[in-house]
Amino acid sequence: MLAEKKLNEKERFNVELMNFGVGGYTQTEELYVLENYVQRFSPDMVMLFFHPPTDIADINKATATIQKTDRPFYVITDKEVLELDTSFSKTKIYKIKCSMNWLKKNSIIISFLINKIKKFHKKRLTTTKTAKEKKNSNKKDRIHGYLSLCTDNPDMVYLENYKLNKILIKQMVQYCKENKWEFVLVCLDTPAYITEREEKLKKVDDTFNLNFFDDDLNIYAKELGIDFIGLQRRFRQYYEETAKPLHLGHWDYQGHECVAETLVDKLQPLIEKTK
């Protein structure tokens, strides 16, 4: 990991960074991983990377993409109590997937065919999603989805999703505090850090705030008594200096380099404090 390498280049450090991230996980699964896997290693510090584009949508079964609905979901009851919905495990589709996973592990041919089917299904879903986004983009009256939270006209469903994100983050923070582990919340970038994209969004809604998630989660982190790193401003700064985006789908090498440098600047004093 670039951040680990950079930290260990500094004198006095012998740091090991462990990655427990899994593609498609939200705070629902991350809380489970924290309590059942991370705790085995008794870390000095836990870092949670929050990704607004996916975490906010996929935390709710109603807004999650189709391929991400066969998993547990937390719901808030009428009594404002968190309740875990695991009904997915009883569905025929899930049982078939479990059987296919066994075949996949034990047959190269089956594994190849399943991957082909998944790619085809993903491509079809992406095409459908793109068509929906294009349809929504033609509605010039408002911004939709998670980015609507960056405006004065938020989508109420996504606002409730975001509320749930925060509740689960708070539970993770409390768990870490009970174990006397430092906790750092990191807000990842959104595509709006690219100037042209921000300008398009502001034409739809002039109340759009590029740095909403950085600012809002920074305030929330202070309420929880934890440290915070926001990457939206950092990515915008890099883009303005170089005119180069930091993505090739996911982060490109320069994107990883930018994040690693930002993490090191923040983590170095925090690590010194734990020694």
Q: What is the pLDDT of residues 61-108, one digit of tens each?
A: 899 886 677 888 988 877 778 888 888 878 777 666 666 666 656 666
Evaluate whether residue 13 is within a structural domain: no
**Phi, psi torsion values for 140, nearest 5 degrees:** -75, 0
Evaluate whether residue 58 is within a structural domain: yes
Least confident segment among 83-97, 150-164, 203-217, 226-240 = 83-97
Is the overall model pTM greater than 0.85, yes or no? no
Evaluate whether residue 8 is within a structural domain: no
More confident residue, 129 or 109: 109
**Mean pLDDT, rounded, of the chain:** 85
Evaluate whether residue 1 is within a structural domain: no
Query: What does each C-alpha distance from 152 to 120, 205, 271 come to in angstroms?
Result: 38, 9, 38
Evaluate whether residue 102 is within a structural domain: yes
Evaluate whether residue 157 is within a structural domain: yes
Residue 139: count of CB within 10 angstroms of its CB: 10
Full domain range(s) for residue 235: 19-274
Q: How many CA atoms, within 13 angstroms, populate the side-chain half-sphere of residue 19? A: 7
Average pLDDT of 162-184?
95
Amino acid at 218: N
- When divided into structural domains, the chain yields a total of 1
Evaluate whether residue 246 is within a structural domain: yes
Give the CATH number for residue 112. Answer: 3.40.50
pLDDT at residue 86, rounded to an integer: 84
More confident residue, 38 or 12: 38
Evaluate whether residue 11 is within a structural domain: no
